[in-house]
Amino acid sequence: MIRFFLRRLTFAVLLVVAVSSGALFLTRLAPGDVTANLGAFAPPEEVARTRARFDLDRSPAAQWGGWALRAIRFDFGDSFLYNRPVGGLVHRAAGNTAVLALAALSLATLLGIPLGIISGSHGGVAPLLIRGASLVCLSIPPLLTSLLLVFVASRTGWLPAGGMTSVDAVDSGWSSWILDVARHLPLPAIALALPIAATFERLQSQSMAETIHQPFVVAALARGVPWRRLVIGHAWRASLRSMCAIYGLAIGALLSGSFVVEYVTAWPGLGRLMYEALRARDIYLVAGCAAMGGVFLALGSLVADLLLFAADPRVREGQAA
């Protein structure tokens, strides 16, 4: 178990280093740089100062070396846009994204898995309707869903059209603040959750359909185990292996999907921060966001592995061997 965990941790560290370094190099090599934000006709001395401040007057390798040395000491450089250290900005945005991702993942799980069980174990009209709805949700990108939801929210006033808190929350206490966040959460969470819920449903349905015809399920049915207990207690548990594996990928999808959703719904998370940083070529902020994205991915992957480890005895046995 310890060796398994250490191997995963090493992989996570390598992933974070590779992703953040790659982001830094790609941002540096892309045409244009952060000085474009000063305007087309900024005084040359201001441009030179800015380039020096962000190490753009050094070679990409030298810039990366300096950045990596500072990053070891948890100094990820300054953001041009926010004019403050990247660490604090990324930390705050990652917290907001985590709240959104957790809500979206919970919603996707609560919607996708039960519907997958139903569509994979039943016949009739319901599975057809569920499958159709899933296909629709899979086909519509989160950008479109979020735009549609923002439009509906702005026209109906049923939910706040964007943001994480309302302006009236300025003087409110913690409990009001939490309620306020909860009111703002459904819109981006639904936009993010729908395609993932559909993925869960499809996978769960397929896995269920396969498991339901396994000999041990047929034998249980022959022994007179009630259908509901058979589905939940036997078939579903056995079908969980493929679902565990998909959770790591789902967290990755949540992050990539959150770029546009956070931008459109003005949710102050990592996706929006990275989008702004990319647009402004804010090089150290891009690298910081990418590093945190890597941490999320590695965590997702680790959680998936641990779930698999717990759910599948063959994995445990493999580790023991």
Partner 1 sequence: MKIRFRSIAITAAILLGGFAFWRSIAAPEIADGVATPAATRGGQLVGSIRAVPRSFNRIVAREQTTELLSFLTQGRLVRINRSTFDLEPWLAETWDASPDGRTFTLHLRSGVTWSDGTPFTSADVLFTLQAVFDPKSESVVANQLTVAGKPIAAAAPDDHTVVLTYPAPSGPGLRLLDGLVILPKHKLEGALAAGTFAKSWDSATPPSDLVGTGPFLLREYIPGQRIVLDRNPRYWRKAADGTQLPYLDRIVLQVVPDQDAELLRLQSGDSDLTQSELRPDDYVSARRSEDQGRLTVEELGVGVDADAFWFRLKPEAWKNDPRFAFLSKPEFRRAISYAVDREAFAENVFLGAAVPIWGPVTPGNRIWFSPNVLRYPHDVNKAKEILKSIGLEDRNGNGVVEDLQGHEARFTVITQRGIGWYERGTTELRTRLARAGIALEIAPIDNGALIQRLLSSDYEAMYYRPLSTDLDPAGNMDFWTSNGSSHFWNMPGPKGAGLPNETPAPEWESRIDTLMAEQASTIDPERRKAIFNDVQRIFAENLPALYFVAPRIYYAHNARVLGVMLSVQRPPALWSADTISVR
| Nearest C-alpha neighbor of 201 from the set 129, 124, 287 | 129
List of residues 6+ apart from 210 with CB closer than 8 A: 239
Tell which positions 133-162 bind partner 1, by CB under 8 A.
147, 150-158, 160-162
Contacting range for partner 1; rule: CB under 8 A; set: 178-186, 236-244, 251-259, 260-268: 260-268
List of residues 6+ apart from 293 with CB closer than 8 A: 19, 255, 270, 274
Q: Minimum distance from CB of 269 to partner 1 (Å)?
A: 9
Bin 140: left if φ > 0, else alpha if -120 < ψ < 50, else beta: beta
| Residue placing its CB nearer to partner 1 in the complex, 36 or 138 | 36
Q: What angle do CA 304, 199, 20 make, to 5 degrees?
A: 50
Binding status of residue 83 toward partner 1 by CB under 8 A: yes
Binding status of residue 254 toward partner 1 by CB under 8 A: no
> Measuring CA to CA, how many Å separate 255 from each of 42, 98, 265, 295, 300?
36, 9, 15, 11, 11
List of residues 6+ apart from 177 with CB closer than 8 A: 165, 169
Tell which positions 45-64 bind partner 1, by CB under 8 A.
46-49
Binding status of residue 81 toward partner 1 by CB under 8 A: yes
> Measuring CA to CA, how many Å separate 76 from each of 214, 286, 287?
53, 10, 8
Q: How far apart are CA 282 and CA 80, in angstroms?
A: 6
Q: Around Cβ 262, how many Cβ atoms within 10 Å?
A: 29
Q: Minimum distance from CB of 74 to partner 1 (Å)?
A: 17
Contacting range for partner 1; rule: CB under 8 A; set: 108-116, 127-135, 263-271, 312-320: 263-271
Beta-strand runs (E) in 94-224:
none
Binding status of residue 293 toward partner 1 by CB under 8 A: no
Tell which positions 160-219 bind partner 1, by CB under 8 A.
160-165, 167, 170
Residues 119/130, Cβ–Cβ less than 8 Å: yes
Give the torsion through C-alpha atoms of 163, 167, 170, 175, to 10 deg: -60
Binding status of residue 132 toward partner 1 by CB under 8 A: no
Instruction: Report helix, strand or coil for 85.
Output: strand
Q: Minimum distance from CB of 285 to partner 1 (Å)?
A: 11
| The one among 4, 11, 25, 82 contacting partner 1 by CB under 8 A | 82
Contacting range for partner 1; rule: CB under 8 A; set: 69-77, 127-135, 244-252, 269-277: 269-277
- The residue count for binding partner 1 (CB under 8 A) is 53
Binding status of residue 89 toward partner 1 by CB under 8 A: yes
List of residues 6+ apart from 280 with CB closer than 8 A: 34, 37, 80, 81
User: x/- string (CB under 8 A) for partner 1, residues 6-45?
Assistant: ------------------------xxxx-xxxxxxx-xx-
Q: Minimum distance from CB of 188 to partner 1 (Å)?
A: 12
| Residue placing its CB nearer to partner 1 in the complex, 67 or 267 | 267
Binding status of residue 126 toward partner 1 by CB under 8 A: no
- Chain contacts with partner 1 (rule: CB under 8 A): 30-33, 35-41, 43-44, 46-49, 80-84, 89, 92-93, 147, 150-158, 160-165, 167, 170, 263-266, 268, 272-273, 275-276, 281
